[in-house]
Amino acid sequence: MQTDERPKHYCGIFGVFGVEDTARVIYDGLFSLQHRGQEGAGICVGNGERVFTCKGMGLVGELQNRPQFSELKGHLGIGHVRYSTTGAPRPANVQPLVVECIDGIWAVAHNGNLTNAHKLRKNYQEAGSIFQTSTDSELLLHLIADPVFRTRPLRVERALAELQGAFSYLVMTNNAVMAARDRYGFRPLSIGKLGSGYVFASETCALEQVGADYVRDVLPGELVVADKRGIRSSTFCEPVTVALGQCIFEHVYFARPDSVVFGQSVHDSRIRLGRRLAKEAPVEADLVIPVPDSGASAALGYSQASGIPLDYGFIRNHYIGRTFIMPVQSQRSDSVDMKLAVVPHVVRGKRIVVVDDSLIRGTTSRRRVNALREAGAKEVHLRISCPPTRHPCYFGIDFPTRTELVAADKTVEEVCKFVGADSLAYNSLEGLLSAVDHPDDFCTGCFTGKYPYDVGTEERRKNALETWAGAM
Ligand code: SF4
């Protein structure tokens, strides 16, 4: 079990205003965002007077079994799927977070990570505030409720302007749903139109799922409000004059390939990664096989560019969660064998190129290389569609600590030896950036150690905000 992972979570958010069958639409939207978080899920729905909430630990599908699900009646609502690195998962941290303020109900759902959370929280605690959760997400509610902001115009904008770091937020009041994205645009957030109503989603695959038409992305630094007057926009910070910090890992691994993220098809960018990889790291082989599912598009690109046929040497058990998404190391290791099975007659006697999206700890790849050899593969060449991951992420992705990143202190040859492959090669940074439009507007911090801005020295241990040992 890891003892010092950062408190980052990686989540999906979905919200609606003015649609029919609100709870069902949010449920369906969250279902297609399940890959972004499997630790907890929640929906809250409002009818203008009351807000109803259904949430808990586990998958989206489990919400239907809760008695509160049938009470979700109204015309506006937000939902959340959560993943966190919290060692002791806490139901209190499951979102949306809902509070009663002096002027009504407020609810938030957050994807990202705030880099000034510790300082803000300490300030509020010193002033007497009581926190319900150990998430950074709750801070926005305290800012919104703070008389300093509450009594002034542009209250939500002013509150958002206090936050640093990565955030795509959905905020719900009794009569509006709002969507905001941090000034660097780290995490995606899109707007859709459904009938006469509006939909917000972390990824466009969720818009497709509910039959909404894509309108546009929420812009970095923008607050979009949907209410009975329609939709309107404001900015809550000075426009970023330097490059944006869109997370390139969304394209490498996290987003679903049928999504358009930061204005670009994820499937297309992964194919480009694979094609580039074939040029940068060719190898004589009989077969290209993808690591399902996120390696599939890159493997197709590698096959197209190299002329080596593609086949499915791994079969995925879809009833097991993504290993990188699982929060505890023991769960992660135990699930690997359950998750992928080798198809022996595909790989037997062949020289195999395995294309994967990333190599984090290396233990999973080692297991897979070994499984391919046991199934009779003659050679196993590992190709990774991004550069070596050597640095932590401070913006909402649960990377292990540096000591746990297999490439942090090892050469490529040493990593190759560790995983037991005949050869190992990564895409170069230039290769990675060649796969996306407007490459200057992407964060590549986990590969380069250079982040879009100086994140300072604030406490970033896993449990930096987790000071109470009791279960909630
Ligand atoms: S450090 Fe890596 S994972 Fe984190 S936001 Fe930047 S590119 Fe994405």
Q: How far apart are CA 23 and CA 19, in angstroms?
A: 10
Ligand 1 midpoint to CA 424 (Å)? 23
CATH classification of the domain holding 431: 3.40.50.2020
- Whether residue 322 contacts residue 35, with contact meaning beta carbons closer than 8 Å, is answered with yes
Same domain, 305 and 400: yes
Residue range(s) defining the domain that contains residue 145: 12-243
443 lines ligand 1 (CB under 6 A): yes
Ligand 1 midpoint to CA 432 (Å)? 13
- Which numbered atom of ligand 1 lies nearest the CA of 447? 2
Ligand 1 midpoint to CA 62 (Å)? 30
Q: Examine residue 113 and state whether it is found in any structural domain, yes or no.
A: yes
Same domain, 74 and 109: yes
Ligand 1 midpoint to CA 24 (Å)? 33
CATH classification of the domain holding 129: 3.60.20.10
- Which numbered atom of ligand 1 lies nearest the CA of 399? 3
Same domain, 188 and 291: no
Note the pTM of the prediction, 2 decimals: 0.91
Alpha helices, H only, 113-228: 117-126, 139-145, 147-150, 155-161, 204-210
> Which of 249, 250, 386, 432 gets mutated to test ligand 1 (max ligand atoms within 8 A of its CB)?
249
Per-residue pLDDT of the chain (472 residues; tens, 9 = 90+): 232 232 334 799 999 999 999 999 999 999 999 999 999 999 999 999 999 999 999 999 999 999 999 999 999 999 999 987 443 568 999 999 999 999 999 999 999 999 999 999 999 999 999 999 999 999 999 999 999 888 888 899 999 999 999 999 999 999 999 999 999 999 999 999 999 999 999 999 999 999 999 999 999 999 999 999 999 999 999 877 789 999 999 999 999 999 999 999 999 999 999 999 999 999 999 999 999 988 999 999 999 999 999 999 999 887 665 555 555 555 555 445 677 899 999 999 999 999 999 998 899 899 999 999 999 999 999 999 999 999 989 998 877 778 788 998 899 999 999 999 999 999 999 999 999 999 999 999 999 999 999 887 665 554 556 555 444 4
Same domain, 288 and 400: yes
Angle of helix 329-339 relative to helix 363-374, nearest 10 degrees, comes to: 20
Q: Examine residue 4 and state whether it is found in any structural domain, yes or no.
A: no
253 lines ligand 1 (CB under 6 A): no
> Is 44 one of the catalytic residues?
no
- In sequence order, what are the residues at sequence separation of 6 or more whose Cβ sits closer than 8 angstroms to the Cβ of residue 314? 289, 290, 291, 292, 340, 341, 342, 343, 368
Same domain, 199 and 258: no
Q: Of 243, 259, 292, which closes a domain?
A: 243
- Whether residue 97 contacts residue 20, with contact meaning beta carbons closer than 8 Å, is answered with no
Same domain, 259 and 151: no
10 lines ligand 1 (CB under 6 A): no
Catalytic position from the list 11, 44, 386, 393: 11
Q: Say how many domains are in the chain.
A: 2
Same domain, 261 and 201: no
